[in-house]
Chains A and B, each alone.
Chain A
Amino acid sequence: MTELDHRVRGVDHVAFPTFDPAATVRFYRDVLGFPVVHSICAAGWGPEDHPDFIHFFFDIGNDDRIAFFYYFGTDPSLGGPEGAKGDVHGRFGADVPEYFVRSRHLAIHVENEEDLLEYRRRLDASDWPVEMQIQHETIESIYTHDPNGYFFEITRAMRPVTPQEDLDAALTIDALLDVVAQPEPTFGKLLARKAELIVERAPGWEPVGSEPAR
């Protein structure tokens, strides 16, 4: 299905607004030790009454970066009324379920358990201690909220992804597209469609490359 060559090279940067640059720098640079690698100081211009701003970047490894905008003369009310839940950019009422509020987040990768626990130590010694440490299916993650309320995850793989998981992911997505094209998609319908695709496509499947399936 995927015949387009894959040329992209990871995250260049992901950018968020901040109204508290001091705490943001403390969290990312001083607590986590992410180096400041780039910044832009710009006078406001343009038709929209754009404020003067600082755009600053922290290295999150791999030359990927997390960036913030600080707009002079603004405060969190810029983004609308304060939310009972969410962060300075995404504001939600008390009735919005937590799984939805947390669904959009950034997860930063570490190599192994030792490194995960090192970041856990750094956070736990700070004003932003780890709120949860969870082993998911094949990854282990720690979570907190940064000074802007952004839900923040650091994660490690507990084992490499196997080729059969790539097959399974492809079948899942094809089944999902079939099911959401019909009225009232359900998990049960997805599993039934996936069973059909497994019968169709799994028997002839062979792991790509020389690495044996584990």
Chain B
Amino acid sequence: MTELYILDVPENTAVAKAAAEDPAATVGQVGPYFVISAEGPIVIDRRATGCRHAVWYSCVAGVARTGRITQHDKDALRVEPA
């Protein structure tokens, strides 16, 4: 189980939307945060988000201890079971 938290602000909605495109991931909400969860890895394609650099590299608010970020670069953000 992997869980990724993203603050719900206008710049980040594209990230949550891109995450929702993966059928293995579900996107919910906890207070003002999107929660993206999946049984296995969560992968978000940078190009699908259209985010500027600064937004892309600062979009993660939290990662539950059951997972960890294994990639966060110009191509993708990948969270895998720890």
Contacts and interface: CB of A to CB of B under 8 A. Distances in A.
A134 B8 CA distance: 23
Interface residues of B, number: 23
A137 interface: yes
Given A167-B31, A199-B30, A191 B62 contact: yes
A135 B58 CA distance: 13
B55 A195 contact: no
A203 interface: yes
A99 interface: no
Contacts of B54: 134-137
A191 B69 contact: yes
Nearest to A138: B11
Contacts of B52: 135
Contact of B30 (A136, A137, A168, A203): A203
Nearest to A194: B62
Interface centre among A192, A197, A204, A205, by most chain B C-beta atoms within 10 angstroms, is A192
B75 to A, nearest CB: 19
Interface of B: prevailing SS: mixed
B62 A195 contact: yes
Interface in A181-214: 188, 191-192, 194-199, 201-205, 207, 213-214
Contact of A195 (B9, B31, B58, B64): B64
A193 to B, nearest CB: 8
A153 to B, nearest CB: 14
B5 A195 contact: yes
Nearest to B51: A137
Contacts of A95: none
Contacts of B31: 164, 167, 198, 201-205
Interface in B29-68: 30-33, 52, 54-55, 58, 60-65, 68
A165 interface: yes
Contacts of B23: none
Contacts of A196: 62, 64-65
10 contacts: A159-B10, A164-B31, A191-B60, A192-B65, A196-B65, A198-B31, A199-B64, A203-B31, A207-B32, A213-B32
Given A194-B5, A194-B61, A202-B33, 7 more contacts: A164-B31, A191-B63, A192-B65, A192-B68, A196-B65, A198-B61, A202-B32
Interface of B: 3, 5, 7-11, 30-33, 52, 54-55, 58, 60-65, 68-69
